Each structure stands twice: as C-alpha cells, then as structure tokens.
Structure 1
Amino acid sequence: MEKLATEQYLQATDFLKSEARPLEKALFEFEFENGSRGQVLEELKVYQNEDGGFGNGLEPDFRCEASSALATTIGLQHLIRVAADQSEPMVQRAIQYALNTFDEEKMGWEIVPKEVETAPRAIWWNYGGDWPWGNPSAEMTGLLHHYKGLVPADFLEKLTAHAIVYVNVEATNDFHELQCLVKLMRELPAEEAGKISARVREIAHHSVTTDQEKWLDYCLLPLQVVSSQTSFLYEDFKDIIPANIQHLASSQTENGSWEPTWAWGRYEDVWETAKQEWSGVLTLDNLRVLRAFD
C-alpha cells in the first residue's frame, strides 16, 4: 500500500507548526508528538462562547462569533480526541448548550444561527437553508451518547428513537449528512447502531465517490468515511482504499499541506484566511488517516 514519504511527512509537520492555526498545531503535537492536552484545551477555549456553544470561526467557512450547532459538534469532537470526559467544564458547557438549543418541533438542531449572515462566509452558509436533519442533528445525537452522563436519559432515548426512524425512512444521499450518520454509528450502542447499519451502508454506496478521476473535485472520498481498518464501512470500500491513499500522497502541495477543493465565490480577502485555516484542518485530517493505514 502507498505510504507517505518521510520528506512529505516532515513538510506537512512544518506546515502545521508554522502556518496552521494554533488549535491544529496543538492537536497535531498532542496526537503525533506526545504534546500537551492542556494546550489543546487552551486553544479550543478561544472558540467557546459564554453560552457554552462554539463559534468564532471554528468552522472556517463562516466567521460569525455566535455559537452554532455545527461548530459545537466540531468542538466536542476535538474534546473527544483529547479524551476529555464529562468532568471537564468545557464539555459540560457545550452539552448544556446543546440541550438548551434543542428544537422540540424539529426534533433536532438548526445548523447555523441567524447571526451567520452578519459576517463573511461561504456562499452556501445562509440562515434557514434546507439542510437535511442529520446534518448536524445525527452527529449531535451521537455526541450526546458519548457524554450521556450529562444528558437526561428519557430525552436521549426519545431522540435516539427519532434518529433511527429518520435514518431508515427519510435520510438523504447528501454526503455531508452521511458523514454525520457515520459519526452517529460510532457512538450508538450496538443494538441501536444495528438498526440503521443497512441504511447507512446503502447511502454510502450512493454518496462516496469511487471514480478516481473525480477525486480532485469537491466530493466525498472513501477515506472520509473509512478512517481506519476498524471503521464500520471498511469492508465496503477496502478495495478502493489503496488507490485513495495513493491519491492523498500525490495531492499534497509543495508547501506540505492539502488545500480545500472549494472556494467561497465572495469575500475573497477573507477567503484567503479561511483557505489557509482549512489547509491546516485538512492536513491534520489526512495525516491522521494515513497514519491509521500505515
């Protein structure tokens, strides 16, 4: 199987340490170099608001300060990476934000707040867009399972039942939603995960791009839903994984990073900042998956 050359790894390392946001730099050092967990938490605090939610450009494509469900799922995933448990105040505040902003009528969360339209953002980030329920409500449901000690049991049971019905009856082939469903599967108890596994697998076969000629475009790569050989969908895509790893190794830029395959189409000066931030996020993500398959 294709491997990342030592020189390429060192270039990626240099990029993360010199050009990425302090958050991605701290995460890299924690995950790859036995760095400080406390430093990750300090950098992540920059993005957490008084209401407990995350915002402030944690998701680089929208720059509003206000908290959002989407940014909060990202913040909680980072907290899980550093093994922050339910005694961590940042976790407690983020989970409380999720509980406080739950929409009973929609049985989920609005992906971004009204304030998204007050700041520079990608052209697709507008308030009240027609987003499928699973993005980010399926992922948030999984996160509540991860920190279930902070969540009322009856609420979590009701939400999980709704998620199972939604996935089997209404879930779309939108690949952003699929990524959230995969994260939900990772956190659900085995019995509940088994109730949606067939449908999630079916969606994956519709949504993951296996045509190698399209991998340089904006699409869902196999390695974006199969992060290791223990991943739920590994057996479904294992034959194409070596080619996808080779693609990652060959698509690294000269400065050691991986760049986004999309652009905002407006706010060009701010996009350059967001693009640089995304390069740090993507470079770290790709190093994680390449290490997992090495």
Structure 2
Amino acid sequence: MEKISNEQYLQATEFLKSKARPLEKALFAFEFENGSREQVLEELTLYQNEDGGFGNGLEPDFRCEASSALATTIGLQHLIRIGADESDAMVQRAIQYALNTFDEEKMGWEIVPKEVETAPRAIWWNYGGDWPWGNPSAEMTGLLHHYKGLVPEDFLEKLTAHAVAYINEEATNDFHELQCLVKLMKELPSEEAEKIAARVREIAHHSVTTDPVKWHDYCLLPLQVVYVPTSFLYEDFQEIIPANIHHLASNQAEDGSWKPTWAWGRYEDVWEIAKQEWSGVLTLDNLRVLREFDAFS
C-alpha cells in the first residue's frame, strides 16, 4: 500500500500548526504529539453556548452563534476523541441540550436552527431544508448511546427502535446520511447494530464513489466511511482503499493541506475564512485516516 512521504507529513503538520484554527491545532497536538487534553477542552469551550449546545461556527460552513444539533454532534465527537466521560461538565451540558431540543413529532432533531439564516453561510444551509432524518438524528442517537448514563433508558430504547425501523424502511442513499448511519453503527450495542447492518451496507454501495476519476469532485470517498481497518464496511471496499490512499497522497496542496472540493457561491470574503478553516479540518481528518492505515513512511 502506498505511503505518504515523511516530507508530506511534515508539510501537513506545519500547515496545521501555523494555519489551522486553535481547535484543530490542539486536537492534532493531543492525537499525534502527546499534547494536552485540557487545551482541547479550553478551545472547545469557545464553541459551547449557555444552552449546552455547540455553535459559533464550529461547523465552518455556517457562522451563526446559535447552537445546532449538527454542531453539537461535532462537539461531542471531539469530546469522545479526547476520552471525555459522563462526569465531564461539557458532556453533561451537551447531552442535556440534545434531550431538551428533541422533537417528539419528528422523533429526532432539526439539523440547524432558524438563526442559521442570520449569518454568512453556504448556499445550502437554510432553515427547514428537506434533510433526511438520519442527518443528524442517527448520529445523535449513537452519541446518546455513547453517553447512555446521562440519558433516560426508556427514551433511548424508544429512539433506537425508531432509528432501526427508519433505516430499514425509509433511509435514503444520501451520502451525508450514510456517514451518520456509520457513526450510529459504531455506538450501538451489537444486537441493535446487526439489525441495520445489511441496509447500511446496501446504502454504502449506492452512495460511496468508487470511480477514482470522480474523486476530485464533491463526493463520498471510500475512506470517509472506512476510516479504520476495523470498520464493518472494510471488506466491502478493501480493494479500492489503496487507490483512495494514493488519491489522498497525490492531492495534497503545496502548502501541506487538503482543500475542500466545494464552495459557497456567496459571501465570498467569509468563504475564504471558512475555506481555510476547512483545510485544517480536512488535513487533520486525512492524517487520522492515513495513520490508521499505516500510510506514513
């Protein structure tokens, strides 16, 4: 399997240390250089609101300060990465936000709040869009399982049953939803995960782009769902993984980063800021994946 050179790795690390947001810098230091867990928490605090949810541009494509379910899933994933448990105040507040904003009628969460339209954002981020249930409700369900000690047991059982039924009967081939389903699978008890495994696998075969020619466009790469060799989808995409690693290695920018393959189409001055932030997020994500597949020289 192809590996990225030591020079490429050093260029990526230099980009993260000099150009990424303080949050990604702290996460990189923690995950790759034995850095401080407390520094990650300090940076994450800047994105958490009084209501316990995360906002304030944590998701770079919408800049509103208000909390959102989507940004809160991102915040909680970062907390999991640094090993924050149910005794952590940030975790407790975020889980309480999720419980407080649950929509009984939708049996899930609105992806973004009304306030999304009050600040610069990508053209697709508007309130009340036709988003599939799983994005982000499937991911949020998985996060509630991860921190199940903070969640009423009967509520979690009811939500999980809804998730299983939805995935098997209504889930779409939307690749953003698939990413949420994969994250849910990771957190579910094995007997629940088994109930949806076949359907998630079927969606993956419809949604993951396996044609290398198309990987330069906005699409779902194999390594975005098989980001560790222990993924339940690994065998499904095993043959294409080396080519996808080659694609990452050969598409690193001169400054050491990986750039987004999309653009906002408006608020161009703010997009330049968001683009830089995304470059930090994507560079860190790609280094994580390359390390998992032992693709460093």
- TM-score (norm: length of structure 2): 0.99
Q: Deviations over 1:189-210 (max 9, x none)?
A: 0000000000000000000000
Distance in structure 1 (CA, Å) of the matches to 2:281 and 2:14: 14
Distance in structure 2 (CA, Å) of the matches to 1:229 and 1:135: 24
Match for residue 147 of structure 1? 147
Match for residue 107 of structure 1? 107
Q: Deviations over 1:30-56 (max 9, x none)?
A: 000000000000000000000000000
Distance in structure 2 (CA, Å) of the matches to 1:45 and 1:4: 34
Match for residue 47 of structure 2? 47
Q: Deviations over 1:115-135 (max 9, x none)?
A: 000000000000000000000
Match for residue 124 of structure 1? 124
Distance in structure 2 (CA, Å) of the matches to 1:72 and 1:167: 22
Distance in structure 1 (CA, Å) of the matches to 2:231 and 2:256: 27
Q: Deviations over 1:70-98 (max 9, x none)?
A: 00000000000000000000000000000
Question: What amino acid sits opposite 1:225 in the alignment?
Answer: V
Match for residue 168 of structure 1? 168
Match for residue 78 of structure 2? 78
5+ unaligned residues in a row in structure 2: which ranges? none
Match for residue 36 of structure 1? 36
Match for residue 19 of structure 1? 19
Question: What amino acid sits opposite 1:230 in the alignment?
Answer: T
Superposed displacement of residue 232, structure 1: 1.2
Match for residue 91 of structure 1? 91
Q: Is 1:135 equivalent to 2:130 in the alignment?
A: no
Superposed displacement of residue 58, structure 1: 0.1
Flag as ranges the 4+ runs of structure 1 deviating above 2 A.
none
Match for residue 210 of structure 2? 210
Superposed displacement of residue 264, structure 1: 0.0
Distance in structure 2 (CA, Å) of the matches to 1:186 and 1:228: 11
Q: Deviations over 1:177-233 (max 9, x none)?
A: 000000000000000000000000000000000000000000000000001110110
Question: What amino acid sits opposite 1:45 in the alignment?
Answer: T
Distance in structure 2 (CA, Å) of the matches to 1:232 and 1:274: 33
Q: Deviations over 1:92-151 (max 9, x none)?
A: 000000000000000000000000000000000000000000000000000000000000
Match for residue 233 of structure 2? 233
Superposed displacement of residue 21, structure 1: 0.1
Distance in structure 1 (CA, Å) of the matches to 2:266 and 2:199: 37
Superposed displacement of residue 20, structure 1: 0.1
Superposed displacement of residue 13, structure 1: 0.3
Question: What amino acid sits opposite 1:98 in the alignment?
Answer: A
Superposed displacement of residue 165, structure 1: 0.1
Distance in structure 1 (CA, Å) of the matches to 2:261 and 2:181: 23
User: What is the count of residue pairs matched by the alignment?
Assistant: 294
Question: What amino acid sits opposite 2:80 in the alignment?
Answer: I
Match for residue 9 of structure 2? 9
Superposed displacement of residue 268, structure 1: 0.1
Superposed displacement of residue 235, structure 1: 0.4
